[in-house]
Amino acid sequence: MLDKESDAGWGTTKANSGIIHPGYAGERNSLKYKISHKGNRLFRKNADELGIHIKNIGSMLNIFHDYQMGTLENFLEQGRASGLSGLKIITDRQKIKELEPNISSNVRAALFAGETCIISPYGAAISIYENALMNGVNFYFDNEVKSIEHITDQSGRKLFMIKTKNHSPYQPDYIFQSEIVINAAGVDSAEIANMIGDDSFKIKACRGQYILFDSEAGNFVKHVNFKLPDSSKSKTKGLLVTPTVSGNFFVGPNYEHITGRDLSTTSKSLDEVKENASKMFDNIPFGKAITEFAGLRAVSDSGDFIISNSAVNKNFINVAGIQSPGLTCAFIIAEMVPEILKNTGIKMVKNRKYIPENKNIERRIIKNDAAVNKSADADDTQKYEIVCRCEKVTEAEIVDAVRKGASTVDGIKFRTRAGMGRCQGGYCLLKVMRIISRELKIPFEKITKCGKDSYIAKYKI
């Protein structure tokens, strides 16, 4: 597994809305629509096995105009055809208010979907990563693919030679050889395909900006709420106001085409997010916002998922254009790829020692004030020493995260939530850095926020 980032679940994953969609939306002939409801069911099954914290809270697709009722009725029909349960249109405003006390009185009707769930997307990625490690997968982080060539080895086998640039100061560049390449590079997947001469699709990076609120305001919203876009030509399901599994809530994202990979937030776009969210909910406590962030969607020129062999080389599998509901479909896509591989003629051997479960549900996902890390390696001082006051994360939890692979400040944050609370690391940053330095035996000034050259300190503090 080659990844240009420094840890699992970065890039699009860590700035994902974390919604497991029920599967009623999408063009009827699209692959997205055909697999999303099955993806929902499979995700919920695998979440239990892998220790992924998932909450089934339901969703409301809210409309504001009578002419939009036809869209709700179409989605209702599509959902029922796919076998969704708990799907209904609510027009009684009192019932809508009972579901969401803070919702705007301008909401005309809502499509309620009982199968909608929320997760921590980066927490899920880390759980899957840990399970993959348990099953013998080798990960090469900080390795950006720079070229792919077709070669033939001495036995006559046709292979890919993949050259990487290593962004870690402690590792060399690598050259890999493989019979198979699975191109799941997100917004960079078209660029990777071009390396073998495959120009069959294009990917646009579309930015979405979010506003995240303090957990003190977490009870403001009860369900996943979508605002149906006014335009039928909209490329998204609409802006969200939704809880998180960690006890806070967020609003967003918007949708903007950009050039490059700019992840900055802008006052103009955040004002747009605020304005649209405020049309759906009254008195949103923007004074309790603790941070803003942006993510990139990988939008294919077809608008659909691309999951197939390359026409240039059948042993090169494109898994591209995986925007929403890509998270929902993650496990079903993972089942589709081996079926594609079978058609290449590659001999596949079942791993009879496969470990399907990863029941180590950590507090990195679930905020629980009473939880204490029970690591056998941690002494009593570490167990009870609070490093992050906002999220009540102990030193032992941070040590455990380092020993499971975290080597950056963000790596610690996404595993433990240290630095994700109200002060956004203002109190715990230096403490976390000292623990990373001590545990990994690397100089304090070499510690990064998120790998590459994102150094935080010029000298030891």
Give the tens place of pLDDT for each residue, 360-381.
554 444 444 444 444 445 566 6
- Among 284-288, 333-337, 382-386, the range scoring the smallest mean pLDDT is 382-386
Question: Bridge partners of 309?
Answer: 317
Percent above pLDDT 90 for the chain: 84
pLDDT in tens, 396-415: 999 999 999 999 999 999 99
Q: What is the mean pLDDT of the chain?
A: 92
Which pLDDT value is given to residue 360? 59
- List, for residues 57-82, the tens digit of each pLDDT value: 999 999 999 999 999 999 999 999 99
Average pLDDT over residues 151-164: 95
3-state secondary structure the chain: CECCCCCCCCCCHHHCCCEECCCCCCCCCCHHHHHHHHHHHHHHHHHHHHCCCEEECCEEEEECCHHHHHHHHHHHHHHHHCCCCCEEEECCHHHHHHHCCCECCCCCEEEEECCCEEECHHHHHHHHHHHHHHCCCCCECCEEEEEEEEEECCCCCEEEEEEEEECCCCCCCCEEEECCEEECCHHHHHHHHHCCCCCCCCEEEEEEEEEEECHHHHHHCCCEEEECCCCCCCCCCCEEEEECCCCCEEEECCCEECCCCCCCCCHHHHHHHHHHHHHHECCCCHHHEEEEEEEEEEEECCCCCEEEECCCCCCEEEEECCCCCCCCCHHHHHHHHHHHHHCCCCCCCCCCCCCCCCCCCCCCCCCCCCCCCCCCCCCHHHHHCEEECCCCEEHHHHHHHHHCCCCCHHHHHHHHCCCCCCCCCCCCHHHHHHHHHHHHCCCHHHCECCCCCCECCCCCC
- pLDDT band of residue 233 (cuts 50, 70, 90) is low
Q: Which domains does the chain have, with CATH numbers?
A: 59-114+203-300 (3.30.9.10), 363-460 (1.10.10.1100)
Measured CA to CA, the distance from residue 19 to residue 37 in angstroms comes to 13
Confidence bin at 25 (pLDDT 50/70/90): very high
pLDDT at 366: 47
386-388/393-394 β-pairing: antiparallel
| Annotated active-site residue in 21, 37, 53, 167 | 21
pLDDT at 228 over 90: yes
What confidence score (pLDDT) does residue 363 get?
A: 42
> Residue 237 above 80 pLDDT?
no
Q: What per-residue confidence (pLDDT) applies to 172?
A: 85
pLDDT of residue 384: 76
Q: Is the pLDDT of residue 355 over 80?
A: yes
Predicted confidence band of residue 460 (pLDDT cuts 50, 70, 90): confident
Q: What is the CA radius of gyration of the chain?
A: 23
Does the active-site annotation cover 21? yes
Return the pLDDT at 375. Answer: 46
Over the stretch 112-150, which tens digit does the pLDDT of each residue have? 999 999 999 999 999 999 999 999 999 999 999 999 999
pLDDT at 231: 62
CA distance 140 to 175: 12
CB 362 within 8 Å of CB 393: no
